[in-house]
Amino acid sequence: MENEFYKDYKGRVMPALQQQHGYKNVHQVPKVEKVVINTSVGSQADVKQALDDAKTELALITGQRAAETRAKKSISNFKLRKDQAIGAKVTLRGERMYEFLERLVKAALPRIRDFRGVSPRGFDGHGNYTLGVSDQSIFPEVELDKIKRNIGFDVTIVTTARTNAEAKSLLSEMGMPFSDRAKKLATASPSEGGPAGQAQAG
């Protein structure tokens, strides 16, 4: 069964992007290739326990087992040894990726207190976008009374877009609430208060 978010991408987002950018071929329309969720616990005093906690939380949020990431070199100031496990990451593709994006956009981000949209400056120039999540509790799957420690992580959305502008069009159409877009909508409809002020923590 196809994920609703993917159905919406195929049925509404693709034609909208084709019209906006004048793509002649449907294969030119940018798409999301993979989503990488990455966290580091190297700075924690109890790295081993922190790593276990991080892997458990990432698995809960993504529905996929997390892989350990290791230090590439030794840094004595940080008491880091080469190949020491210092973080965890999950790479999502296909249906799980679309499910995660749907939950991120529709459920998790709106739960951030005083949410004003995500920064439009997180693009890398090659069509990929990274946003930082400072607290895993915004995800509905996480039970607040079971959180042992605060785990912040980066979410990198890798797309086939060639430019930042194309990637931003793609993610905007998929519902990513960029802060500059929210401002434009707010100024366009001041009587409704705009979407920027509506997203409060649940």
- Joined together, the tokens standing for residue 85 give 């496990």
Cα-trace Rg, the chain: 18
Q: Per-10-residue mean pLDDT for the chain, 202 residues long? A: 86 95 92 95 75 90 92 67 82 96 93 89 95 88 78 94 96 94 49 37 35
pTM for the full predicted model: 0.82
CA-angle at 153, arms to 177 and 111, nearest 5°: 40
Query: Residue 118 gets which letter from DSSP?
Result: B
* Residue 58 confidence (pLDDT): 93
Whole-number Å distance between alpha carbons of 147 and 24: 49
Q: How much is the pLDDT for 135?
A: 84
User: Which helix (H) or strand (E) segment is 138 a member of?
Assistant: none
- Please report the pLDDT score of residue 29 as a whole number: 96
**pLDDT value, residue 202:** 34
150 near 136, Cβ under 8 Å?
yes
106 C-beta neighbours (distance < 10 Å), count: 11
Q: What is the pLDDT of residue 130?
A: 97
The C-alpha atoms of residue 28 and residue 25 are separated, in whole angstroms, by 6
Give the pLDDT score at 146.
76
